[in-house]
Amino acid sequence: MSDYVEGKTRWWGWGDLDQRFDVENRENIMPFLRENLGMPLDTERFTDPDLEEVGLPEPRLSGKTLEELREICGPENVSTGKFQRVSHSMGKSYRDLLRYRQRLIRRPVDVVVWPREEVEIVEILRLAERENLAVIPFGGGSSVTGGVEPMGEKEGYISLDMARMNRVLRVDATSHTALIQAGALGPEIEEQLNAHGFTLGHFPESFDHSSLGGWLATRASGRQSTGYGDIEDMVLALRMVTPRGVVDTRRVPSSAAGPSILQLCVGSEGYMGVITEALMRIRPLPEVLDYRGLIFRNFAAGVSAIREMMQQGLVPTCVRLSDRTETALAQAFRSTKGPRWKRKAEDAALRFLARRGYSFDDGAFMVLGLEGSADEVDYLRPLILRICRQLGGFHLGTGPGRQWYRSRHETAYFREQLINWGVMVDTLETATTWDNLLHLYGEVRSAIRSALSEWGDKNLVACHVSHAYREGASLYYTFFAPMAAEGREEEQWEKVKRAASEAIMEHGGTISHHHGVGYEHAPWMNREVGEVSIRALQAVKMAVDPADIMNPGKLLPRG
Amino acid sequence: MSDYVEGKTRWWGWGDLDQRFDVENRENIMPFLRENLGMPLDTERFTDPDLEEVGLPEPRLSGKTLEELREICGPENVSTGKFQRVSHSMGKSYRDLLRYRQRLIRRPVDVVVWPREEVEIVEILRLAERENLAVIPFGGGSSVTGGVEPMGEKEGYISLDMARMNRVLRVDATSHTALIQAGALGPEIEEQLNAHGFTLGHFPESFDHSSLGGWLATRASGRQSTGYGDIEDMVLALRMVTPRGVVDTRRVPSSAAGPSILQLCVGSEGYMGVITEALMRIRPLPEVLDYRGLIFRNFAAGVSAIREMMQQGLVPTCVRLSDRTETALAQAFRSTKGPRWKRKAEDAALRFLARRGYSFDDGAFMVLGLEGSADEVDYLRPLILRICRQLGGFHLGTGPGRQWYRSRHETAYFREQLINWGVMVDTLETATTWDNLLHLYGEVRSAIRSALSEWGDKNLVACHVSHAYREGASLYYTFFAPMAAEGREEEQWEKVKRAASEAIMEHGGTISHHHGVGYEHAPWMNREVGEVSIRALQAVKMAVDPADIMNPGKLLPRG
Q: For residue range A367-423, list pLDDT tens digits in order.
A: 999 999 999 999 999 999 999 999 999 999 999 999 899 888 888 899 999 999 999
Shortest CA gap A308–chain B (Å): 10
Which residues of B are tagged catalytic?
476
- Between A259-263, A509-513, B175-179, B359-363, the lowest mean confidence (pLDDT) is in B359-363
State whether A157 and A268 are in the same domain. Answer: no
Pick from A203-207, A273-277, A466-470, B19-23: least confident: B19-23
In chain B, residues with a C-beta closer than 8 Å to the C-beta of A535 are 244, 543-544
Query: Residue A3: its pLDDT value, please?
Result: 80
Q: Which residues of A touch B269 (CB under 8 A)?
A: 258
Q: Which domain holds residue A239?
A: 181-284
Contact B268 A281 (CB under 8 A): no
Residue A410, pLDDT score: 84
Q: Give the H/E segment covering residue B481.
A: strand B472-482
Does residue B538 fall inside a structural domain? no
Nearest to B532 among A232, A516, A544 (CB): A544
CA distance A57 to A89: 13
Interface test with A, best of B260, B309, B469, B512 (most A CBs within 10 A): B260
Radius of gyration in angstroms for the set of CA atoms belonging to chain B, rounded to a whole number: 23
pLDDT of residue B2: 63
Pure H helices in B408-507 = 411-420, 434-453, 489-506
Among A284, A312, A344, residue at a domain's last position: A284
pLDDT at B347 (0 to 100): 87
Chain B residues touching residue A427 (CB < 8 angstroms): none
Geometric angle at alpha carbon B38, from B37 and B42, rounded to 5°: 95
CB proximity list for B56: less than 8 A, separation 6 or greater = B82, B85, B86, B105, B108
- Domain for residue A550, yes or no? no
Q: Are residues A189 and A112 in the same domain?
A: no
ipTM above 0.95, yes or no: yes
For residue A228, the domain's CATH number is 3.30.465.10
pLDDT of residue B243: 98
pLDDT 10s digits, B73-100: 999 999 999 999 999 999 999 999 999 9
Q: Of B112, B139, B284, which is closest to residue B208 (Cα–Cα)?
A: B139
Active site residues of A: 476
Mutate which of B529, B535, B541 to disrupt the A interface (most A C-beta within 10 Å)?
B529
In a domain, A90, yes or no: yes
Task: Determine how β-strand A111-113 pairs with β-strand A156-161.
Answer: parallel
Domain boundary (B375, B391, B408) is at: B408
Amino acid at B556: L
Q: State the pairing for strand pair A364-372/A318-322.
A: antiparallel
Q: How confident is the model at residue A2 (pLDDT cuts 50, 70, 90)?
A: low
Looking at residue B434, which CATH number applies to its domain?
3.30.300.330
3-state secondary structure of A357: coil
What is the pLDDT confidence band of residue A559, given thresholds at 50, 70 and 90?
A: low
Domain count, chain B: 4
Confidence band for A548, pLDDT divided at 50, 70 and 90: very high
Q: Considering the domain boundaries, does residue B471 fall inside one? A: yes
* Adjacent-strand bridge partners of A318: A369
Instruction: Tell me which of B379, B408, B437 is where a domain ends.
Output: B408
Average pLDDT (A216-240) is 98
Judge contact between A249 and B537, C-beta under 8 A.
no
Q: Per the domain annotation, does A493 fall within a domain?
A: no
Q: Which CATH number characterizes residue A126's domain? A: 3.30.43.10
Whether A235 maps to a domain, the answer reads yes
What does pTM read for this prediction?
Answer: 0.97
Average pLDDT, chain A: 96
Count of pairs with CB atoms under 8 A, one residue in A, one in B: 297
Q: A274 and A328: one domain?
A: no
Interface mutation target, options A282, A376, A471, chain B, most CBs of B under 10 Å: A471
B252 lies in the same domain as B173: yes
Q: If 0-12 CB within 10 Å is exposed, 13-18 middle and 19+ buried, where does residue B526 land?
A: middle
Q: Which residues contact A45 (CB under 8 A, 6 or more apart)?
A: A420, A421, A422, A483
CA distance A307 to chain B (A): 8
A114-137 pLDDT, tens digit each: 999 999 999 999 999 999 999 999
Residues 6 or more apart from B276 whose CB is under 8 A from it? B118, B121, B162, B165, B181, B182, B213, B239, B240, B241
At A51 the pLDDT is: 96
Q: Is B187 exposed, middle or buried (0-12, 13-18, 19+ CB in 10 A)?
A: exposed
Residue A508 φ then ψ, to 5°: 85, 20
Q: Which residues contact A359 (CB under 8 A, 6 or more apart)?
A: A353
Same domain for B199 and B174, yes or no, is yes
Same structural domain, B217 and B275: yes
B298 and B312 housed in the same domain = yes
| Count of residues in chain A | 559
A134-172: buried (b, 16+ CB within 10 Å) or exposed (e) per residue?
A: bbbbbbbbbbbbbbbbbbeebebbbbbbbbbbbebeebb
Of B434, B510, B532, the CB nearest to A257: B510
Collect all residues of chain B within an 8 Å Cβ-Cβ radius of residue A235. none
Q: Any residues with CB less than 8 A from the CB of B58 and at least 6 apart, and which? A: none
d(C-alpha A281, C-alpha A59), whole Å? 41
Burial of residue B257, with CB atoms counted within 10 A of its CB: 0-12 exposed, 13-18 middle, 19 or more buried: buried
Q: Are residues A255 and A205 in the same domain?
A: yes
End-to-end CA distance of chain A: 38
Whether residue A237 sits in one domain with residue A215: yes
3-state secondary structure B42-103: CCCCCCCCCHHHCCCCCCCCCHHHHHHHHHHHCHHHEECCHHHHHHCCCCCCHHHHHHHHCC
Beta bridge partners of A161: A138
Residues in chain B: 559
**Does residue B394 share a domain with residue B300?**
yes
CA gap A189, B434 in Å, rounded: 22
* A338 and A303 inside one domain: yes
Structural element, H or E, at residue B172: strand B168-172
A441, containing H or E segment: helix A434-453
Q: How is chain A split among helix, strand and coil, in percent rounded to 5?
A: 40, 20, 40
Strand ranges in A305-412 using DSSP code E only, listed in sequence order: 318-322, 364-372, 394-397
Contact A252 B431 (CB under 8 A): yes
* Residue of B251, B257, B512 lying closest to A256 (CB–CB): B512
Chain A positions in Cβ-Cβ contact with residue B538 (cut-off 8 Å): 543
A190 and A252, same domain (yes or no): yes
Q: Name the DSSP letter for residue A48.
A: P
Q: What is the mean pLDDT of residues A169-181?
A: 98
CA distance B229 to chain A (A): 11
Q: Is residue A16 part of a domain?
A: no
pLDDT of residue B351: 92
> CB–CB of B534/B266 below 8 Å?
no
One pLDDT digit (tens) per residue for chain B, 559 residues: 468 999 999 999 999 999 988 888 899 999 999 999 999 999 999 999 999 999 999 999 999 999 999 999 999 999 999 999 999 999 999 999 999 999 999 999 999 999 999 999 999 999 999 999 999 999 999 999 999 999 999 999 999 999 999 999 999 999 999 999 999 999 999 999 999 999 999 999 999 999 999 999 999 999 999 999 999 999 999 999 999 999 999 999 999 999 999 999 999 999 999 999 999 999 999 999 999 999 999 999 999 999 999 999 999 999 999 999 999 999 998 888 888 898 888 889 999 999 999 999 999 999 999 999 999 999 999 999 999 999 999 999 999 999 899 888 888 899 999 999 999 999 999 999 999 999 999 999 999 999 999 999 999 999 999 999 999 999 999 999 999 999 999 999 999 999 999 999 999 999 999 999 999 999 999 999 999 999 999 999 999 999 999 999 999 998 6
Domain assignment present for A472: no
Query: What residues does B266 pair with on adjacent strands?
Result: none
Closest-CA distance of chain A to residue B481, Å: 27
Q: What is the CATH number of the domain that holds A379?
A: 3.40.462.40
